[in-house]
């Protein structure tokens, strides 16, 4: 069975500090996808990134960067120079293919990030 672990339940940092959110996953699939979603106080899940298991290149998008390490089954997310608007719950998720080519996402329990002004 697939599993996603986000060991950090809550993190608080002062604005402009860098912060890394950890994600560790377990899967028997040889091909899989990893995702990060942001859930602001409004509740909607906002898609941030999708990463193919064959692509281990790190990715940077503005202040956001992702470090994918297959050897340690980790897909960590770093926010550089954090801002108050980054305050949210962040979910890491792992895809699992099932019937009819459909996709099931296994979510971690989320990390609540609070940026203190």
Partner 1 sequence: SQTIHQWPATLVQPVGSPLSLECTVEGTSNPNLYWYRQAAGRGLQLLFYSVGIGQISSEVPQNLSASRPQDRQFILSSKKLLLSDSGFYLCAWSRGQQRDTQYFGPGTRLTVL
Residues that bind partner 1 in the complex, under the rule CB under 8 A:
31-33, 35, 37, 42-47, 50, 91, 95, 97, 99-105, 107-110
Q: Which residues contact 102 (CB under 8 A, 6 or more apart)?
A: none
Cβ proximity to partner 1, 61 vs 99, nearer residue: 99
For residue 16, the minimal CB distance to partner 1 (Å) is: 28
Cβ proximity to partner 1, 44 vs 117, nearer residue: 44
Q: What is the DSSP string of 13-33?
A: EETT--EEE--EEE---SS-E
Cβ proximity to partner 1, 7 vs 47, nearer residue: 47
For residue 27, the minimal CB distance to partner 1 (Å) is: 13
Tokens of 30: 């040889």
Gap between the Cα atoms of 93 and 3, Å rounded: 9
């Amino acid at each position: 069975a697939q599993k996603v672990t986000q060991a950090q339940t809550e993190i608080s940092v002062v604005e402009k500090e860098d912060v890394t959110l950890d994600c560790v996953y377990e899967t028997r699939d040889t091909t899989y996808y990893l995702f990060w979603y942001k859930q602001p106080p409004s509740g909607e899940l906002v898609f941030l990134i999708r990463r193919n298991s064959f692509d281990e290149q790190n990715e940077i998008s503005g202040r956001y960067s992702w470090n994918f390490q297959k050897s340690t089954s980790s897909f960590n997310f770093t926010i550089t120079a954090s801002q108050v608007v980054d305050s949210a719950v962040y979910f890491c998720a792992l895809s699992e293919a099932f019937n009819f080519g459909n996709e099931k996402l296994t979510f971690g329990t989320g990390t609540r990030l609070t940026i203190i002004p």
